[in-house]
Amino acid sequence: MRRLFESKIRFAVSLIILVFITGVVGFRFLYDYSWVDALYMTIITVSTVGYGEVQPMDAYGKIFTSVFIISGLFIFGFGLSTITEHILNKNNLGNLKRNKMKKRIDSFTDHIIVCGYGQNGKEAVQKLKDYRKNFVIIDDNEEVFHGIEGDDLNYIVGNATEDEVLQTAGIERASTLICALPRDADNLFIVLSARQLKKSLKIISRATEENSYKKLKLAGADNVIMPDRIGGSHMASLVVVPDLVEFLDNLSVSGEHDSINVEQIPFSKVCSDGIEKTIAETDIRKKTGCSIIGYKSPTGTYVVNPEPSLRLEKESKLIMIGRPEQIEKLKKYYSV
């Protein structure tokens, strides 16, 4: 639709320019007007103002002027209507898109808010899309969203440091907030504001400076990620244990269609009846083909490669690994 409007606009503008060129050239060379007089005659003829001619015309001049007036009226009418239609439709399409987006955002619960759509923000959004999570992006630079008009992304143009913007993104209903702005001061301010707006919100923030880590933690961030430190450690690991690192890199998202290989399941899904069971009693491996590689207790303690005799506690979580088709079977079986 947008390309169609743009092509019509170009066509209309081209016709209007052609009319002016035809009029100026016609009056200049057919009737030996000066360039200024030719332009003047073209303008008053097309606009049908009704001023007198610069000099009297013969029969041929009147015929040319009459044809020029009629064609100019039609072309200018077409051009103005096309431009007006484009402006109105552009505004209407923009309003419709924003209203539709706002309705979707208002319907979200337990969604993720991503503050900042730079490099880190885009990577976070891509991962959330892979896991089919609902999310809202906040960025004060409208230009970063121009290339995603065809995508089904929900975003808000605004300053995430303002409480009103966070509330518009549904922070009271959100489960997680990701602060991915380039400046640590902005991330710190957002963390402070978000923690005040919702005490139970999980907050993950980016940091670039070493001294920002503790400040963000004190402000209320649950996790603070330093991309530069992770990048350096990752590169060193590729030297020391390259095969292991490449294997781990392909655990989360891999395969021909970027299928998921790792998933987590809460206790409420594994033991839907609320009765605590051992890992052996759940028989997840036989039901889905997936293997349990980790267990997170209600207190936050992690157990790697738990024993089959480990009893699952309420509010705990299991971390599973499997091939894409096994993960899909797991998600369907437990409605994850």
| pTM, entire model | 0.62
> Is 3 contained in some domain?
no
CATH number at residue 307: 3.30.70.1450
Domain that holds residue 173: 92-225
Same domain, 146 and 58: no
User: SS3 sequence, the chain?
Assistant: CHHHHHHHHHHHHHHHHHHHHHHHHHHHHHCCCCHHHHHHHHHHHHCCCCCCCCCCCCHHHHHHHHHHHHHHHHHHHHHHHHHHHHHHHHHHHHHHHHHHHHHHHHHCCCCEEEECCCHHHHHHHHHHHHCCCCEEEEECCHHHHHHHCCCCCCEEECCCCCHHHHHHCCCCCCCEEEECCCCHHHHHHHHHHHHHHCCCCEEEEECCCHHHHHHHHHHCCCEEECHHHHHHHHHHHHHHCHHHHHHHHHHHEECCCCEECEEEEEHHHHCCCCCCCEHHHHCHHHHHCCEEEEEECCCCCEEECCCCCCECCCCCEEEEECCHHHHHHHHHHHCC
Q: Residue 1: its pLDDT value, please?
A: 47
Closest listed residue to residue 56, CA positions, set 41, 71, 68: 41
> Is 109 contained in some domain?
yes
Q: Tell me which of 232 and 50 has the higher pLDDT.
A: 232
The Cα 156–Cα 106 span in angstroms is 12
End residue of a domain, out of 53, 88, 123: 88
Domain count along the chain: 3
What Rg value do the Cα atoms of the chain yield, rounded? Answer: 32
Q: Residue 237: its pLDDT value, please?
A: 84
Same domain, 32 and 134: no
> Is the pLDDT score of 258 beyond 60?
no
CATH number at residue 125: 3.40.50.720
Same domain, 63 and 105: no
Residue 313 · residue 252 · CB < 8 Å = no
Same domain, 65 and 100: no
The Cα 284–Cα 147 span in angstroms is 43
> Is 144 contained in some domain?
yes
Least confident stretch, 183-192, 228-237, 303-312:
228-237
Q: Residue 55: its pLDDT value, please?
A: 63
> Is 64 contained in some domain?
yes
**Tokens at 260, concatenated:** 């998921």
Q: Tell me which of 35 and 208 has the higher pLDDT.
A: 208
Q: What is the arithmetic mean of pLDDT over 225-239? A: 85
> Is 234 contained in some domain?
no
What is the share, in percent, of the chain residues with pLDDT greater than 70? 80
Same domain, 76 and 132: no
Query: HSE (CB half, 13 Å, CA atoms) of 5?
Result: 13
> Is 244 contained in some domain?
no
Strands 135-139 and 112-115: parallel
Same domain, 152 and 218: yes
**Mean pLDDT, rounded, of the chain:** 83
In tens, the pLDDT along 92-147 reads 556 667 778 888 899 999 999 999 999 999 999 988 988 888 999 999 998 888 76
In tens, the pLDDT along 45-84 reads 666 665 556 566 666 666 766 777 777 777 777 777 776 7
Q: Residue 61: its pLDDT value, please?
A: 62
Separation in Å, CA 49 to CA 44, 221, 277: 5, 69, 90
> Is 237 contained in some domain?
no
If pLDDT is split at 50, 70 and 90, which confidence band does 244 have? confident
Q: What is the arithmetic mean of pLDDT over 161-188? A: 95
